[in-house]
Amino acid sequence: MCALRSLPSPQTKSPAPAAGVEVTGLNISLPGPRGRSAIVRDLSLSCAPGEVLAIVGESGSGKSLTSLAISGLLPEGAHVTGSVRLGGRELTTLSERKWRDLRGREVAMIFQNPRGSLHPMLPVGRQLIEVLRLHRRTRRVEARAEAVKLLTRLGLPDPQNLMLRVPHQLSGGMCQRIALAMALAGRPRLLLADEPTTALDAAVQVEVLRLLAETVAEERIPMILVTHDLAVVEAVADKVLVLYAGEMREYGPVSSVLQRPRHPYTVALTASGPSAAHRRGRLPQIDGTPPAPWDRPPGCSFAPRCANASPICQTELAETGNAHRLRCHNPAEAAHV
Ligand SMILES: Nc1ncnc2c1ncn2[C@@H]1O[C@H](COP(=O)(O)OP(=O)(O)OP(=O)(O)O)[C@@H](O)[C@H]1O
């Protein structure tokens, strides 16, 4: 773990305090081998300004589609119902023209491969300055000064020199920080990060994520982080949403959900403890496989893999809790992990 650094506070802030994001009753369906299938079902979450919400779950649980739905980037043929509100504005009904205006500026995204978001032939400084000029409508000289400030803030030494280099002359960690600076350039009202550090080595991952979490906290930007890695969740997130087969199973503050998991699925994920997960960097394996979206059983779709399942689990889902929400008829005792 790297030591936390105290960062200079930004001189320019968003004109108005950004409001958070609120997702209510989100359903995403896609055409599949047996017609249209519900992939994500009845998902609700919220992320306040400066808060980091992590979405975790096994491969195929719908983490990326949820993030893509929030950023208006779902694949062709996807059908969405429910609501995604950012600062009180409904996003699910925006036209593509409105999205083009919003995306990258108000809703920024960071992906797994940092080099993929950079032009391979252009100096990274020029790329960052162009994005700053576009989003902030400033002159080149001001954009350059802002670029230096952003890169310093993201822990990059000698930013003037670094800005002259092209991506292949930089390490993956440096490229990811440049990509982060570009994502932050528009002073977004929401940051979506899908496995942003998976391609980096473990020590750099933690440092980049810590800097990112500090920056969004200072800038009051809500951040939704998609990850497989419980150690990442523990290190940087405030809240966590545990997805199983496209549905919420457990949701609440990290300190509560990961330390005192109640849903048998979360219990299984955390059974070896986040620090053991940290060593592997992936979710632990659980016996069995999740159902395909077109083959979901009625009731709780985790029931076929669940040691606590009882007959009611085959027919109905039950939701309890408020700050720490849970969908389970037979939750585990709230034991400390
Ligand atoms: N373009 C698409 N067309 C049809 N089905 C898709 C498409 N994209 C994703 N899916 C299906 O939707 C489900 C959820 O996919 P998604 O990528 O959101 O999962 P994930 O939790 O992010 O997985 P991973 O951790 O492997 O990235 C999967 O069953 C996947 O096969």
What is the DSSP track for 66-78?
Answer: HHHHHTT-PPTT-
How confident is the model over 5-38, as pLDDT tens digits?
Answer: 333 333 444 444 448 999 999 999 999 888 899 9
* The residue type at 202: A
- The confidence band for 327, taking pLDDT boundaries of 50, 70 and 90, is very high
The per-residue pLDDT for 283 is 65
CB 255, CB 326: distance < 8 Å: no
Q: What is the mean pLDDT of residues 320-336?
A: 86
- What phi, psi does 209 have (nearest 5°)? -70, -40
- The confidence band for 330, taking pLDDT boundaries of 50, 70 and 90, is very high
User: Which residue among 63, 67, 80, 194 has the greatest number of ligand 1 atoms within 8 angstroms of its CB, and so is best to mutate?
Assistant: 63
Letter string b/e over residues 187-206, b meaning 16 or more CB atoms within 10 A of that residue's CB: bbbbbbbbbbbbbbeeebbb
* The residue type at 317: L
Ramachandran area for residue 327 (φ above 0: left; ψ -120 to 50: alpha; else beta): beta
CB 252, CB 321: distance < 8 Å: yes
Q: Is a pLDDT exceeding 80 seen at residue 2?
A: no
337 three-class SS: coil
Question: Which protein residue has the closest C-alpha to ligand 1 atom 29?
Answer: 60
CB 203, CB 278: distance < 8 Å: no
* The residue type at 168: H
Q: What is the mean pLDDT of residues 208-226?
A: 91
Question: Rounded distance, CA 301 to CA 316, Å?
Answer: 10
Q: What is the mean pLDDT of residues 278-302?
A: 79
CB 52, CB 236: distance < 8 Å: yes
Q: Is a pLDDT exceeding 70 seen at residue 265?
A: yes
Q: Highest mean pLDDT range out of 50-54, 98-102, 185-189? A: 50-54
Q: Is a pLDDT exceeding 90 seen at residue 90?
A: yes
Q: Is a pLDDT exceeding 80 seen at residue 181?
A: yes
How confident is the model over 104-149, as pLDDT tens digits?
Answer: 889 999 988 878 889 999 999 999 999 999 888 889 999 999 999 9
31 three-class SS: strand
- The confidence band for 276, taking pLDDT boundaries of 50, 70 and 90, is very low
User: Which residue among 27, 43, 55, 61 has the greatest number of ligand 1 atoms within 8 angstroms of its CB, and so is best to mutate?
Assistant: 61
CB 132, CB 147: distance < 8 Å: yes
Question: Which residues surround ligand 1 with Cβ inside 6 Å?
Answer: 30, 39, 57, 59-65, 75, 228, 293
Task: Please report, for the chain, how many H helices and E strands are present, in that order.
Answer: 11, 12
Rounded percentage of the chain residues whose pLDDT exceeds 70 = 90
Pick the CATH number of 21-106+186-327 from 2.70.150.10, 2.60.40.420, 3.40.50.300, 3.10.129.10: 3.40.50.300
Question: Rounded distance, CA 179 to CA 196, Å?
Answer: 10
Say how many Å lie between the CA of residue 40 and the centre of ligand 1. 10
The per-residue pLDDT for 203 is 76
CB 313, CB 301: distance < 8 Å: no
Q: Which residue has the higher pLDDT, 120 or 203?
A: 120
Question: Rounded distance, CA 64 to CA 62, Å?
Answer: 6
Mean pLDDT of the chain: 87
Question: Rounded distance, CA 214 to CA 9, Å?
Answer: 11
The per-residue pLDDT for 335 is 53
Ramachandran area for residue 157 (φ above 0: left; ψ -120 to 50: alpha; else beta): beta
- What is the token pair recorded at 185? 């350039």
